[in-house]
Amino acid sequence: MQRVSVLIELIRERAQKLLEDGIVNRVIGWKKGEFFYDRTPAVFQASDDLSELIYDGFCSANLSKYLIQENKKDGKILALLKPCDTYSFNQLIKEHQINRENVYILGIGCPDMLDINKIRGKGIKGIQKIEENDDELIIDTLYGQRKCRREDVLLEKCLSCKGREHVAYDELVIGDLRNDLTIENEAMSDSASGKNPYEMVEKIEAMTPDERFAFWRSELSKCIRCNACRNVCPACTCIKCIFDNDRSGIASKANTDTFEENMFHIIRALHVAGRCTDCGECSRVCPQQIPLHLLNRKVIKDINEFYGEYQAGADTETVGPLISYKQDDVEPDIIMRKGGHK
């Protein structure tokens, strides 16, 4: 992908320098995998390993989560964070999960992330190589060449991007993305890339309760309780999740009953309520492609409507909406009056 080919060079340079100057003793970034699209988060110790460091439209993994463990180790770590990853980072700082001193953030520009599942969803099999040509992807497969529009296979969260600004960083490397990005940025607000994040939530709200129930049953019944959504979630920072803790009284390992599917996902949504930055990792990693972000976005939408606009992770001070209040907050019966049809 030429859009980022330049950027990755700049990133490597800076990382190299910072390592050599001893400002950091390791770097967390992404490593190339077996195929053209699989990228694995990796920690690089030596500066000559950095040749393996890669950055492109498939490096969607939010590295902030790893910093919770990494910052417990000795020395400062260099973290490559995309704009939206920095929201998670701030939230983790706010909740004392990361010691800011132990992390050096290299804020990197974002080329918009691609969703391999969406590409596969287009029936594209045997992917060998993906070429990017402005807004088109040219995909070489075992079964011949395929094409698809870039915006058709963007990661869900990128469709309603929070913006290009890093809310936390020690240094920025935006590279040549900046120009075309800023343009996009303006376009963003109205164009497809700036689509209303609550579009789907609103659709669901507009359904009848039975339709909503049917919708969520069919989605949640796919859940295999692999806990990928939870373990990848930067807001899930509990030492031991109540669902794993036998002493919590509600531990449950499998969805032995449909009730447990609901229970797990409702409680998870409420536990991250006001803390979820809408980074979209839960939906990205779900092997069953359950649109889990629609649960979190519902909560975010409610919070914005009831208690005023709030973006978790926008800063490190503001007290979250569920651990603060206003004396004239709406009464719960507002749900009886609004919130979907009767």
Partner 1 sequence: MMFKINKDRWPELFSEISRDRELYMPIEKAGQIQFEKWNVDAKVRLDQLNTVKSPKDFFFPQSENIVAFKTKGKNISIFENHDESRPFVVFGVRGCDAASFKILDRVFLAEPVDTFYKTRRENATVITLSCNEPEETCFCSIFEIDPVDPAGDIETWVIDDVLYWKSITEKGHALTDDIKKLFEKADQQDEEKIYNHKEKVKDIISKLPLQNLNINEIFKNNSMLEIFNSSKWKELSQPCMGCGTCTFICPTCHCYDIRDFDTGHGIQRFRCWDSCMYSDFTRMSHGNPRSSQLERFRQRFMHKLVYYPENNDGAFACVGCGRCISRCPVSMNIVKVAKALGVKDDE
Partner 2 sequence: MQVEKSNEVERNIHMDLKKITEEQTSQTGLTEQISENRANGTREKGIGAKGDFKPLIVAFCCNWCSYAGADLAGTSRLSYPAEVKIIRVPCSCRINPIFILRAFGRGADGVIICGCHPGDCHYSTGNYYTRRRMTLLFSMLDYLGIEKERTRVEWVSAAEGVKFSTVMNDFAKTIHRLGENKKLEDLRCKEFPY
Partner 3 sequence: MPKIGVFVCWCGSNIAATVDVKKVAEAVKEEPGVVYTADYQYMCSEAGQSMIRKAIKENGLTGVVVCSCSPRMHETTFRKAVVAAGLNPYMVEIANIREQCSWIHKDKEEATEKAVILARTAIAKLNLNQPLTAGESPVVKRALVIGGGIAGIQSALDIAEAGYEVDIVEKSPTIGGKMAQLDKTFPTLDCAACILTPKMVDAAQNEKINLYTYSEVESVSGFVGNFNVKIKKKARYVKEELCSGCGVCTEKCPSRKSKNEFNEGLDNRGAIYIPFAQAIPNVPVIDTSACLRFKTGKCGICAKNCPADAINFEQQDEIIERQYGAIVVATGYKLISLENFDEYSYTQCPDVVTSLEFERIMNAAGPTKGQLIRPSDKTHPHTIVFVQCVGSRDTSGRGKPYCSKVCCMYTAKHAMLVREKYPDTEVYVFYIDVRTPGKNFEEFYRRAVEQYGVNYIKGMVGKIAEKNGKLIVQGSDLIANEQVVIEADMVVLAAAIEPDPSARSIATMLTASIDTNNFFTEAHPKLRPVESPTAGIFLSGVCQGPKDIPETVAQATAAAAKVIGLLSKEKLLSNPCVSSSDEMLCSGCSNCEKVCPYGAISFIDKTFKIAGKTEARRVAKVNEAICQGCGACTVACPSGAMDLKGFTNKQILAEVDAICR
Out of 41, 163, 291, 320, point to the residue binding partner 3 (CB under 8 A): 320
237 binds, among partner 2, partner 3, partner 1, none (CB under 5 to 8 A by kind): partner 3
127 binds, among partner 1, partner 3, partner 2, none (CB under 5 to 8 A by kind): partner 1
Q: Closest approach of Cβ 328 to partner 2, in Å?
A: 9
Question: CB of 251: closest distance to partner 3 in angstroms?
Answer: 10
184: nearest Cα among 208, 154, 214:
154
Given the complex with partner 3, which of 326 and 341 has the nearer CB atom?
A: 326
Token pair, residue 22, equals 């001893």
Q: Which one of partner 2, partner 3, partner 1, none interacts with residue 214, CB within 5 to 8 A by kind? A: partner 2
The least CB distance from residue 157 to partner 1, in Å, is 15
Distance CA 139, CA 157 (A): 23
Please report whether residue 97 would count as binding partner 3 according to CB under 8 A: yes
Chain contacts with partner 1 (rule: CB under 8 A): 33-35, 38-43, 61, 65-66, 116, 120, 125-128, 141-143, 218-219, 221-222, 224-228, 230-232, 240, 244, 253-256, 281, 284-285, 287-289
User: Does the protein bind partner 3 through residue 240 (CB under 8 A)?
Assistant: yes
Residue of 162, 271, 284, 293 interacting with partner 3 (CB under 8 A): 271
Measure the CA–CA gap between 251 and 243, rounded to whole angstroms: 4
Residues that bind partner 2 (CB under 8 A): 204-205, 207, 209-216, 242, 250, 256-260, 262-263, 266-267, 269-270, 273, 295, 298-299, 302-303, 306-307, 321-323, 325-327, 329-336, 339-340
Spatial CA neighbour of 255 closest among 287, 224, 289, 215 = 224
Minimum distance, C-beta of residue 301 to partner 2, in the bound complex (Å): 9
The CA distance from 73 to 250, in Å, is 33
Q: Which of 40, 245, 258, 288 binds partner 3 (CB under 8 A)?
A: 245
Residue 122, binding choice from partner 1, partner 3, partner 2, none, Cβ under 5 to 8 Å by partner class = none
